[in-house]
Structure 1
């Protein structure tokens, strides 16, 4: 086979392979609006008034759930989101925030340690503590939320990993 023909086949196969892999990934669950804030929770906590009433799509790991008479609050350790809006929990944290949800939520439906994505509006901030340290938590009035299952977190991810060779992991 000539070099030109091989080069042509590689150039043809590469985009097709990328399209195939992209088609396997789930679509984002929430539409990002042009008005959505791209700042991380730790950045919002530094100047909450600058972001007041802005839309966000944030996610992270559930730290705790508190239920009150008329609303519930879920504290999350924020992580960046992937293209499907799943929290990238192997990344470094982006601060913490509190998801404020109307009415009662069953804490068993939001287990500590689970990954969650929320869509909502920033509604101020609240001083609190993380351990003994003072902390400012951005508050998100949640319009929609999703707790990710283990299957959803792996869906659309290839079991082929590149490194010092090619390997296939079995789950």
Structure 2
């Protein structure tokens, strides 16, 4: 019996959906509306936000990504069925390849709020919340488009056929 409990706990721990950086206890749950209303008072606050990529721009030292904000579900995936609350900018010291980080891809990022942006990507991007990313996770494309949506058990059956 003890063996089965250990085996089940190991199998369930392998089903984690996000890397450990996204489960940090120091991440503050702050709504986008609160931050966008008063960005300066939330400077240096760690957040975990997600959404859909609108645009990516690479400079010599940084990559900039404009993201359409959506609230996250329990698994950390953007809830694109809910209305968008606005946009924010992700600043990354890593090169973000526009082919991989393409428009309309779902993303989640952990980082620190640095303040407001100033005309980085497009003229409309000034005044948006700026997050300096410590971790970025790009969600797979085929997750939402599986044709087993009506039968979640059927989706996993294909693995054993």
TM-score after normalising by structure 2: 0.71
Q: Which residue pairs with 1:144 in the alignment?
A: 135
Structure 2, unaligned runs of 5 or more: 1-11, 155-161
Looking at structure 2, the residues matched to 158 and 131 of structure 1 have their Cα atoms a distance apart, in angstroms, of 37
Looking at structure 2, the residues matched to 87 and 68 of structure 1 have their Cα atoms a distance apart, in angstroms, of 27
- Which runs of structure 1 show a deviation greater than 4 angstroms over 4 or more consecutive aligned residues? 127-135
Looking at structure 2, the residues matched to 108 and 134 of structure 1 have their Cα atoms a distance apart, in angstroms, of 21
Give the structure with higher Rg (CA): 1
SS of the residue 1:136 aligns to: coil
* Contact 1:86-1:153 within 8 A present in 2 as well: no
Q: Which residue pairs with 2:23 in the alignment?
A: 31
Higher strand share: 1
Q: Which residue pairs with 1:116 in the alignment?
A: 107
Looking at structure 2, the residues matched to 27 and 134 of structure 1 have their Cα atoms a distance apart, in angstroms, of 31
Alpha-carbon deviations, 1:88-138, whole Å to 9, x = none?
111111211001000422111100011100011111112559988685211
* Contact 1:67-1:104 within 8 A present in 2 as well: yes
Q: How many residues align?
A: 137
Structure 1, unaligned runs of 5 or more: 1-22, 162-167
CA RMSD of superposed structures (Å)? 3.1
TM-score after normalising by structure 1: 0.68
Looking at structure 1, the residues matched to 125 and 139 of structure 2 have their Cα atoms a distance apart, in angstroms, of 30
